[in-house]
């Protein structure tokens, strides 16, 4: 890949987009096209088409999305479905019109059925019902995957979809109303420690199993995809290792230094019982994650301590 090629990173200010931007810059990619949402509304079709016609990007990385945890997905189903479809459809269609060489679409492991066999293989897509608590976001991402597959099939363009497992890291969202489980736990345990190690109440039973990938590892997977021609349209990206939510809570509690009690509110939903990714296809091509979970949590907590004012500004 020519490091002078013009690469548009959609969503470069989010956790994933920021990590991709940082990693590309570290590797010598200097012609990055970056626009804040206030400068380019990706939900507006005409604006996106005009932008592509003017800038003529050669590569597009779609890291833009409306994201959130169980609570946000349950409370705001329409924007999670519609806004994500608007963003990705505009980017995909504009890329096709502008003959963009390479398009990398980022989704989520929630595209797979709730009760699919474990670990989750790419071929399990659309074989059963989705998890109801995040089906709106999942449906949007599935349409993005299939749109990229259709373009790849009909036109032969190098459009690839990467489905990461649960992500965390620097620039994460720590807003308790909209965040995912790992950053929410970091904030809860930290604030409980600051308040005299008071008990921390967490949703569910603690028994579901989850897999977590440090966001810089995903960024490396994106660069790997950028620099290689992958033979298939869909790839899982993860660690291939999972743990219970209870084990995750205890790990975060130890990193933060909270010494109080953990209380499990079993009246709240657990979500999918287990979500472990089969990452054998990416491994076979030569990519593998590098950052262990405890190390990643330590890095993330350090970032949180240095940027505590930021999460207060995060609003749905």
| Prediction pTM value | 0.92
Question: Would you say 81 and 87 are in contact if contact means Cβ atoms under 8 Å apart?
Answer: no
Vertex 170 angle, CA 3 and 165, to 5°: 80
Binding-site residue ranges for NADP(+): 11-17, 106-109, 141, 164-167, 180
Residue list for the binding site: 11-17, 106-109, 141, 164-167, 180, 188, 203, 210, 270
What does the pLDDT look like over 67-109, one tens digit per residue? 776 777 778 899 999 999 999 999 999 999 999 989 999 999 9
Instruction: Name the residue ranges covered by the structural domains of the chain.
Output: 7-313
Q: What fold does the segment set 7-313 form as a domain?
A: Rossmann fold (3.40.50)
DSSP string, the chain: --TTS-EEEETTTSHHHHHHHHHHHHTT---EE---TTT--TT-HHHHHHHHHHH--SEEEE-------HHHHHH-HHHHHHHHHHHHHHHHHHHHHTT-SEEEEE--GGGS-TT--SSBPGGGTTSSPPPGGGHHHHHHHHHHHHHHHHHHHHH--EEEEEEE-EEE-TT----TTT--HHHHHHHHHHHHHHTTS--EEEES-S--EE-EEEHHHHHHHHHHHHHS--SSSEEEES-S--EEHHHHHHHHHHHHT--S-EEEETTS---SSEE-B--HHHHHHT------HHHHHHHHHHHHHHTTTTGGG---
Separation CA 314–CA 281 (nearest Å): 36
Cβ 152 vs Cβ 159: under 8 Å: yes
| CA angle in degrees (0–180, nearest 5) for 102-103-107 | 150
b/e map of 159-195 (b: 16 or more CB within 10 Å)? bbbbbbbbbbbbbbbbbeebbbbbbbbbbbbbebbee
pLDDT in tens, 154-180: 999 999 999 999 999 999 989 887 778
What confidence score (pLDDT) does residue 310 get? 61
The residue from 137, 168, 301, 311 that is catalytic is 137
Please count the other Cβ atoms lying within 10 Å of the Cβ belonging to residue 120. 24
pLDDT in tens, 245-255: 999 999 999 99
User: For residue range 100-138, what is the model confidence (pLDDT) as tens digits?
Assistant: 989 999 999 989 998 899 999 999 999 999 988 889 999
Sheet with 234-237, edge to edge strand ranges: 32-33, 7-10, 59-62, 102-106, 158-164, 234-237
Residues marked as binding for substrate? 188, 203, 210, 270
Q: Which of 14-28, 35-49, 302-316 has the lowest mean pLDDT?
A: 302-316
Contacts of 161 (CB under 8 A, 6+ apart): 104, 105, 106, 107, 144, 145, 148, 149, 233, 234, 235
Give yes or no: 112 in active site: no
* Distance of alpha carbon 139 from alpha carbon 142, whole angstroms: 5
| 235, pLDDT greater than 70 | yes
What does each C-alpha distance from 303 to 69, 82, 92, 171, 174 come to in angstroms? 21, 32, 33, 8, 11
**pLDDT reading at 316 higher than 70:** no
Q: Which residue has the tokens 């987009």?
A: 17
Confidence (pLDDT) at 313: 42
């Amino acid at each position: 890949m020519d490091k002078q090629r013009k690469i548009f990173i959609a969503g470069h200010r989010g956790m994933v987009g920021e990590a991709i931007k940082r990693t590309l810059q570290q590797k010598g990619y200097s012609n990055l096209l970056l626009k804040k949402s206030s400068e380019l509304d990706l939900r507006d079709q005409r604006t996106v088409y005009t932008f592509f016609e003017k800038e003529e990007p050669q590569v597009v990385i779609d890291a833009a999305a409306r994201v959130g945890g169980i609570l946000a997905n349950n409370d705001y189903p329409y924007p999670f479905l519609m806004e994500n479809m608007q963003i990705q459809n505009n980017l995909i269609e504009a890329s096709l019109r502008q003959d963009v060489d390479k398009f990398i679409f980022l989704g989520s492991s929630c595209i797979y059925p709730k009760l699919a066999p474990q670990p989750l293989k790419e071929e399990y897509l659309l074989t059963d019902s989705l998890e109801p608590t995040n089906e709106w976001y999942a449906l949007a991402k599935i349409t993005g995957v299939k749109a990229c597959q259709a373009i790849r099939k009909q036109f032969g363009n190098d459009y690839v979809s990467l489905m990461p497992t649960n992500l965390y890291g620097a620039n994460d969202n720590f807003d308790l109303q909209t965040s995912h489980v790992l950053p929410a736990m970091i904030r809860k345990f930290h604030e409980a420690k600051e308040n005299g190690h008071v008990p921390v109440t967490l949703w569910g039973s603690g028994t579901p199993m989850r897999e977590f990938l440090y966001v810089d590892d995903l960024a490396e997977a994106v660069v790997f995809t950028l620099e290689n021609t992958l033979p298939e349209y869909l790839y899982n990206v993860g660690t291939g290792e999972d743990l219970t939510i209870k084990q995750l809570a205890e790990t975060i509690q130890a990193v933060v230094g909270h010494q109080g009690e953990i209380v499990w509110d079993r009246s709240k939903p657990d979500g999918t019982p287990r979500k472990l990714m089969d990452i054998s296809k990416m491994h076979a091509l030569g990519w593998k994650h590098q950052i262990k979970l405890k190390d990643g949590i330590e890095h993330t907590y350090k970032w949180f301590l240095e940027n505590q004012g930021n999460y207060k500004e995060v609003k749905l």
